């Protein structure tokens, strides 16, 4: 009898995704593993229990996790869930450890070997395991769909006998994985698309998708990217020039989508209240970074806010989960690709090679300890009854407020468009960052 992989139903009411698909269940069985799927785990992703059963999984209950050697999840397990896990079990999920030291310490105390999929290194052999990219891709797509749903006009230009309907103007801020997909989707729907980013290398990618690139292209801009594909901190003079250009451009747009997110930090502010106030009534802004504080001043997590001047600011949470059926299929393949590297093909047993670069990059806890160097402080117990969060890393403004002239603090921290990788990043071996 092989080792057991358990796929639970996600307890978070706002999480419709599931960590397996009929295809990955079949592949896991092919590795010699016994697969148990909790009843109802795939319902919100349009995968009924019968489909999992046909693929070779046993349909079980939540308590079956007690005998699992591997647990595949979407979100980090709660304290209540961890109480049922077997010590030494491998738990693979999107752990979201930044700012959650107490939860990381709980994983260590439970004795599980926890892997955080969002830390997967961006190297060639790990491309199929990159959950940030697979989920950001769908987030970029869904952002445009959500914008179109809130926008009370047609997106493409329509020439009719009764007259011409002008095409909507869409502006994408941040050209990573999500930004590129947003550009492509908006273009398919017929919008006139422009995009901006502080990395020169993405200009060609933007233009290849039929959009116009917007930036102050001076000498500083040409040297604004590191060898690893990250954006350099721009001078206050450049920020002022870029802010003026952006502010003038936003006032003319119908749809704005922001995608800038930096792991472990509050989201950088891209759109000020003054910029929002300059937009036309009926315009729509979609903030994909709202869960980390937002790129847009006035964005509220989980809500669609209508401003005094009639602009809608969309702050949906878990945007990939809004297309759960597709997101789950991609995420499940990411997990399988990683788990496959942890299974010995001869013995059909879990065999974690702790010196492997993928393991070292993603392993969060092991043997009752927090082993990831970035979270070593999570082993420190908080005061009794008190949840202590680490101090937040200050956010920086990627696009300054053109209406307020302030001296920007001089910092050297790298920044990048949140949801993505650049061409230079790919050529440099895709260093770890944001999807």
- Is residue 272 part of the annotated active site? The answer reads no
- Is residue 3 part of the annotated active site? The answer reads no
Pick the catalytic residue: 75, 76, 122, 199? 122
Strand partners, 91: 71, 114
Pick the catalytic residue: 101, 130, 146, 197? 130
Pick the catalytic residue: 133, 205, 283, 328? 133
Contacts of 277 (CB under 8 A, 6+ apart): 307, 308, 309, 311
Report the C-alpha gap between 70 and 49 in whole angstroms: 20
Tokens matching residue 338: 């990683």
Q: Give Cα 382 distance to the centre of its chain.
A: 29
How many Cβ atoms are within 10 Å of 341's Cβ, its own excluded? Answer: 15
Tokens matching residue 40: 């109802």
Angle between helical axes of 177-188 and 131-150 (0-180°, round to 10): 40
- Is residue 122 part of the annotated active site? The answer reads yes
Pick the catalytic residue: 67, 96, 127, 188? 127
**235: Cα within 13 Å, side-chain hemisphere:** 9
User: Which residue, among 8, 54, 12, 48, has the nearest Cα to 29 in the 3D structure?
Assistant: 54
3-state secondary structure the chain: CCCEEEECCCCCCCCCCCCCCHHHHHHHHHCCCEEEEECCCCHHHCCCHHHHHHCCCEEECHHHHHHCCEEEEEECCCHHHHCCCCCCCEEEEECCCCCCHHHHHHHHHCCCEEEEHHHCCCCHHHHHHCHHHHHHHHHHHHHHHHHHHHCCCCCCCEEECCEEECCCEEEEECCCHHHHHHHHHHHHCCCEEEEECCCCCHHHHHHHCCCEECCCCCHHHHCCECCCCCECCCCHHHHHHHHHHHHHHHCCCCEEEECCCCCCCCCCCCECHHHHHCCCCCCEEEECCHHHCCCECCCCCCCEEECCCCCEEECCCCHHHHHHHHHHHHHHHHHHHHHHHCECCCCCCECCCCCCHHHHHHEEEECCEECCHHHHHHHCCCCCCCCCCCCCCCCCCCCCCCCCCCCCCCCCCCECCCCCCCHHHHHCCCCCCCC
Pick the catalytic residue: 151, 230, 238, 331? 230
Catalytic positions are: 122, 127, 130, 133, 230
């Amino acid at each position: 009898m092989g080792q057991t992989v358990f796929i639970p139903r996600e307890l978070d009411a706002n999480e419709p995704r599931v960590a397996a698909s009929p295809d990955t269940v079949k592949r896991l069985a092919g590795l010699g593993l016994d697969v148990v799927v909790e009843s109802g785990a795939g319902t919100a992703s349009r995968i009924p229990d019968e489909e999992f059963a046909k693929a070779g999984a046993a349909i079980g209950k939540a308590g079956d996790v007690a005998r699992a050697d591997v647990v595949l999840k979407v979100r980090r397990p709660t304290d209540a869930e961890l109480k049922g896990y077997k010590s030494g079990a491998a738990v693979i999920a999107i752990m979201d450890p930044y700012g959650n030291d107490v939860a990381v310490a709980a994983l260590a105390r439970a004795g599980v070997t926890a892997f955080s999929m969002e830390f997967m290194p961006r190297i060639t052999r790990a491309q199929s395991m990159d959950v940030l990219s697979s989920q950001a891709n769908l987030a970029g797509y869904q952002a445009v769909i959500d914008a179109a749903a809130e926008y009370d006009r047609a997106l493409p230009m329509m020439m009719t006998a009764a007259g011409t309907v002008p095409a909507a103007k869409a502006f994408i801020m941040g050209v990573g994985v999500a930004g590129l997909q947003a550009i492509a989707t908006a273009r398919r729907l017929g919008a006139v698309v422009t995009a901006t980013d502080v990395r020169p290398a993405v200009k060609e990618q933007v233009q290849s998708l039929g959009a116009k690139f917007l930036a102050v292209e001076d000498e500083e801009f040409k040297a604004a990217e590191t060898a690893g594909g990250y954006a350099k901190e721009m001078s206050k003079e450049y920020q002022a020039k870029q802010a003026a250009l952006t502010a003038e451009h936003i006032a003319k747009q119908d749809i704005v989508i922001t995608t800038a997110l930096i792991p472990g930090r509050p989201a950088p502010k891209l759109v000020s209240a003054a910029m929002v106030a300059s937009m036309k009534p009926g315009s729509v802004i979609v903030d994909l970074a709202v869960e980390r504080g937002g790129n847009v001043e006035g964005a509220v997590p989980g809500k669609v806010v209508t401003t005094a001047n009639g602009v809608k600011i969309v702050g949906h949470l878990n945007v990939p989960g809004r297309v759960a059926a597709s997101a789950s299929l991609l995420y499940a393949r990411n997990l399988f690709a990683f788990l496959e590297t942890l299974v010995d093909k001869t013995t059909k047993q879990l065999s974690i090679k702790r010196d492997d670069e993928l393991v070292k990059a993603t392993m969060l806890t092991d043997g009752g300890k927090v082993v990831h160097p970035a979270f070593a402080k999570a082993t420190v117990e908080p005061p009794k009854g008190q949840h202590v969060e680490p101090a937040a890393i200050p956010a920086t403004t990627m696009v300054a407020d053109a209406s307020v002239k302030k001296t920007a603090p001089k910092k050297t921290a790298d920044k990048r468009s949140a949801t993505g990788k650049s061409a230079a990043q790919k050529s440099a071996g895709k260093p770890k960052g944001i999807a």
